[in-house]
Structure 1
Amino acid sequence: MQKITPFLWFDREAEQAAAFYTSVFERSKIVDVMHYGEAGPREKGSVMSVTFELDGQTFIALNGGPNPQMAFSPAISFFIHCRTQAEVDALWDKLGEGGERLQCGWLRDRFGVTWQVVPTVLGEMLRDQDRERSARVMHAMMQMCKLDIAQLQRAYDGETA
């Protein structure tokens, strides 16, 4: 069992969110669904929580009810390491459907959860010892919504558009 598990508070969408996320990521599954009993506070038999795995990482989603203090915020996001542009494109399209696409590889999905869809090569480029190269990559990234490896590579190589 992993020591730290992300715990997501939903109004009533925990089961739908877990089903959606497990359809997006490979090696993912619903592990357990718990229901409210007699003690409530929700209707007996309604879904209380869903434990699910995304690519081996365990998450718990709770149907805790409406609570403005428990709203999702971009201050907490899930960073997805992508090896290829095809992976970036697929995850960007699937997670962004019905949500909001933000800057620099960030998006908010239809449930309000924020994700960063990032090619692993970006970190390598930004850590380059040549400060001019890494600055060009940072500048290029800041102009993008969905991150484009080919455009980042051109910036890294000093090619102008």
Structure 2
Amino acid sequence: MTTVTQHLWFEKGMREALSTYVGLIPGSAIEWITPIPGDTPSGPAGSVQIAGFHLGDQRYMAIEAGPLDSFNHSFSILVSCDDQAQIDHLWEKLGEGGSYEPCGWLRDRWGLSWQISAKRLGGLMMGPDPETAKRVTQAMLKMSKIDIAGLERAAAG
């Protein structure tokens, strides 16, 4: 069976980042962290470390190996939340020291992009009524942090 795992490259701060992520996303854990024993193009023995972890049901690996390419919007982690309290909590904690962006996007302090959304958003946008979907989409496009009550008001017209 083929295994697919997302891989993240951190310039620095990988351990702190992973601890933050697994502490915020239920059902998550760091499985292992190990230094690379020999010299690498990124540094001397022990200066490069790799890790395996999972966030919810998604598997990841990470490496801390100095600068290469910065994280950008072409890769983000989408978290679909059950309720506003979960959105609010993740928004505050992941955005701390980073930056907030439109439509539920934020960058954490390590530069990784996240989409903090509501499970309800998909149902409202993909429902049978195109006018409802249009109103909900327009409301979402005006939001920074996703507001479920605001989406419901838009859906109701």
Runs of 4+ in 1 over 3 A off after TM superposition: none
Are residue 11 (structure 1) and residue 11 (structure 2) matched? Answer: yes
> Corresponding residue for 2:38?
38
Q: Deviations over 1:71-116 (max 9, x none)?
A: 1111111111111111111111111111111000111111111011
Report Cα offsets for 1:46-67 as digits up to 9, x if no partner: 3511111212322111012212
Which ranges in structure 1 are unaligned for 5 or more consecutive residues?
A: none
Cα distance in 2 for residues equivalent to 1:12 and 1:44: 16
Aligned residues: 156
What TM-score, normalized by structure 1, do the two folds share? 0.90
Match of 1:82 in 2: 81
CA contact (8 A) 2:47 2:65 kept: no
Task: State the TM-score, normalized to the length of structure 2.
Answer: 0.92
The equivalent residue for 2:93 is 94
Distance verdict in 2 for CA 1:57–1:8, change over 3 Å: same
What are structure 2's unaligned runs of at least 5 residues? none
Q: Which residue does the alignment assign to 1:66?
A: 67
1:137, distance to aligned residue in structure 2 (A): 0.5
Q: Give the percent of matched residue pairs that are identical in Structure 1 and Structure 2.
A: 38
> For the residues of structure 2 that align with 1:45 and 1:117, how far apart are their CA atoms?
35
- 1:50 corresponding residue in structure 2: 51
